[in-house]
Amino acid sequence: MQYSATNNDREDSGLKEGFSLTHTSEDTRRFLIDAFQSRGSISSLIPGFEERPQQQKMALLVWDSLAKGGHLLVEAGTGVGKSLAYLLPAAYWCLTNKKRIIVSTHTVNLQQQLVGKDIPMVAQILEDTQGRGTLNYALFKGRSHYLCLRKWNRVYEDTLKNLQLFEAKEEEKKLQRLSTIIDEGAWNGDREELPFHVADSTWSNLCSESDRCMSAKCPFRETCHYHKQRKYLESCHLIVVNHALFAAHLRLYQDTAGKTLLLPGHEAVIFDEAHHLEGVFRDSLTFDVGYNHLKRLSDDALRMASREPFSKLLPGGERERIESALQHLLDLLHKTLANLDPGVLYGGSKSSGRRQTRPYINFGRDKYRLREPQTIDESIVESLRNFSEVITAWTDFDLSDEERFEVNALARRFLAIAGKIENINTLEGDGDSFVYWSELEKRGRQRQVTLNSSPLEVGSYLRENLWSVLPSAILTSATLSTGSSFEYIKRLLEIDAAEAIVGSPFDYPNQACLCVPADNRGKEPNSPIFDDYVAEAVLQIADLVQGRSFILFTSKKALETVSQITRDRIEEKGYPVLVQGEMSREALLAEFKNRGNAVLMGLDSFWEGVDVPGEALSCVVLAKLPFPVPNDPVMQARDELWKAQGLNPFAHYSLPVTTLKLKQGFGRLIRSKTDRGAVVILDSRLITKAYGRTILRSLPPARFTTDLDDIAQAVPQPGGA
Ligand code: SF4
Whether the per-residue pLDDT at 438 is higher than 50: the answer is: yes
Residue 172's domain comprises: 143-223
Rounded distance from Cα 108 to ligand 1 centre (Å)? 25
C-beta 214 within 6 A of ligand 1: yes
Residue at 196 is within a domain:
yes
CA of 579 to the centre of ligand 1 (A): 43
In a domain, 643, yes or no: yes
Q: Is the pLDDT of residue 431 over 60?
A: no
Q: Are residues 525 and 650 in the same domain?
A: yes
Q: Is 19 in the pocket of ligand 1 (CB under 6 A)?
A: no
The full DSSP string for 99-143 is: --EEEEES-HHHHHHIIIIIHHHHHHHIIIII---PPPEEE---G
Please say if the pLDDT value at position 58 is more than 60: yes
Number of domains in the chain: 4
Cβ of 589 less than 6 Å from ligand 1: no
- Residue 292 belongs to a domain: yes
Residue 133: per-residue pLDDT: 77
> What pLDDT is attached to residue 249?
95
Residue nearest atom 2 in ligand 1 by C-alpha distance = 213
Residue 150 Cβ < 6 Å to ligand 1: yes
Q: What are the pLDDT digits (tens) for 137-180?
A: 999 999 999 999 999 998 888 777 766 656 667 777 888 889 99
Least confident of 55-59, 371-375, 703-707: 371-375
**Taking a C-beta distance cutoff of 8 angstroms, is the pair 695, 683 a contact?**
no
Based on the domain organization, do 708 and 568 belong to the same domain? yes
In sequence order, what E strands does 189-348 have?
Answer: 238-242, 268-271, 287-290
Distance (Å) from CA 220 to ligand 1 centroid? 6
Q: Are residues 108 and 169 in the same domain?
A: no
- Give the DSSP letter of residue 186: -
Q: Do 279 and 358 belong together in one domain?
A: no
What are φ and ψ of residue 353, in 5° steps?
-60, -25
Q: Is the peptide bond between 309 and the residue preceding it cis, with omega within 30 degrees of 0?
A: yes
Residue 357 has pLDDT above 60, yes or no: no
Q: Is 149 in the pocket of ligand 1 (CB under 6 A)?
A: yes
- Among 190, 214, 400, 403, the mutation site with the greatest number of ligand 1 atoms within 8 A of its Cβ is 214
330 located within any domain: yes
Q: Is 148 in the pocket of ligand 1 (CB under 6 A)?
A: yes
Residue whose CA is closest, atom 4 of ligand 1? 224
The yes-or-no verdict on residue 7 having pLDDT over 50 is no
Q: In what order do the strands lie in the sheet with 619-622?
A: 577-579, 599-602, 549-552, 619-622, 677-681, 512-515, 703-705
Instruction: Decide: 228 in ligand 1 pocket, CB within 6 A.
Output: no
Identify whether residues 307 and 413 lie together within a single domain. yes
Residue 516 lies inside a defined structural domain of this protein: yes
Task: Place 390 in a pLDDT band, splitting at 50, 70 and 90.
Answer: very high
**pLDDT the model gives residue 588:** 94
Same domain flag for 493 and 514:
no
Classify residue 96 by burial, with Cβ atoms within 10 Å: 0-12, 13-18, 19+.
Answer: middle
- In the structure, what pLDDT confidence band is assigned to residue 370 with cuts at 50, 70 and 90? confident
What is d(CA 401, CA 217) in angstroms, rounded to the nearest whole number? Answer: 8
Residues 515 and 418 in one domain: no
Is 480 strand, coil or helix? Answer: coil
Mean pLDDT for all residues in the chain = 87
pLDDT at 443: 66
Average pLDDT over residues 509-525: 87
Distance from Cα 270 to the centre of ligand 1, integer Å: 30
The C-alpha atoms of residue 49 and residue 93 are separated, in whole angstroms, by 24
Q: What percent of the chain has pLDDT over 70?
A: 89
pLDDT band at 446 (very low <50, low <70, confident <90, very high): low
Ligand 1 mutation target, pool 152, 220, 229, most atoms within 8 A of CB: 220
Is pLDDT above 80 for 203?
yes
- Asked whether the predicted pLDDT for residue 683 surpasses 70, the reply is yes
- pLDDT score at 6: 27
Evaluate if residue 363 carries a pLDDT over 90: no
By most ligand atoms within 8 Å of CB, the mutation choice from 147, 190, 221, 401 for ligand 1 is 221
How sure is the predictor about 630, in pLDDT bands with cuts at 50, 70 and 90?
confident
Per-residue model confidence (pLDDT) at position 720: 61
Q: Taking Cα atoms as reference points, which of 602, 566, 557 lies closest to residue 582? A: 602
- pLDDT band at 427; cut points 50, 70, 90: confident
161 CB-contact burial (10 Å; exposed 0-12 / middle 13-18 / buried 19+): exposed
Residues 276 and 323 in one domain: no
- Residue 391 within any structural domain of the chain: yes
Q: Is the pLDDT of residue 282 over 60?
A: yes
Nearest-CA residue for ligand 1 atom 7 is 213
User: 574: left (phi > 0), else alpha (psi -120 to 50), else beta?
Assistant: left
- Between 95-99, 132-136, 227-231, 347-351, the lowest mean confidence (pLDDT) is in 347-351
Q: What is the dihedral of CA 450, 455, 457, 461, to 10 degrees?
A: -130
Name the helix (H) or strand (E) containing 230: helix 225-233
CB 207 within 8 A of CB 147: yes
When pLDDT is averaged across residues 607-635 and rounded to a whole number, the result is 91
Mean of the pLDDT values across residues 512-531? Answer: 86
Give the whole-number percent of the chain exceeding pLDDT 90: 63
Report whether residue 703 contacts ligand 1, using a CB cutoff of 6 Å: no
- Residue 61 near residue 500, CB atoms below 8 Å: yes
CATH number assigned to the domain comprising residue 560 = 3.40.50.300
Question: 3-class DSSP state for residue 236?
Answer: coil
Decide if 209 contacts 297 (C-beta within 8 A): no
| 494 burial via Cβ count (<10 Å: 0-12, 13-18, 19+) | middle
Q: Is residue 49 part of a domain?
A: yes
* 170 and 309 together in one domain: no
Asked if 575 and 692 sit in the same domain, the reply is yes
457-474 pLDDT per residue, tens: 999 999 999 999 999 999
What tens digit of pLDDT does each residue of 375-387 get?
777 889 999 999 9
- Is the C-beta atom of 227 inside 6 A of ligand 1? yes
Flag the least confident range among 132-141, 219-228, 517-526, 643-652: 517-526
Report the amino acid identity of residue 242.
N
Q: Is the pLDDT of residue 365 over 70?
A: no
Ligand 1 center from residue 210 Cα (angstroms): 9
Which pLDDT score, from 0 to 100, does residue 20 have?
35
CB 410 within 8 A of CB 302: no
Q: Over the stretch 68-90, which tens digit does the pLDDT of each residue have?
A: 999 999 999 999 999 999 999 99
Give pLDDT, residue 163: 64
pTM of the model: 0.88
Is residue 678 situated within a structural domain? yes
- 512, containing H or E segment: strand 512-515
Residues 435 and 484 occupy one common structural domain:
no
**CA 228 – CA 221 distance, rounded (Å):** 9
Q: How confident is the model at residue 342 (pLDDT cuts 50, 70, 90)?
A: very low
pLDDT score for 164: 62
Model confidence at 432, in pLDDT bands (50, 70, 90)? low
Please tell me whether residues 189 and 246 are part of one structural domain: no
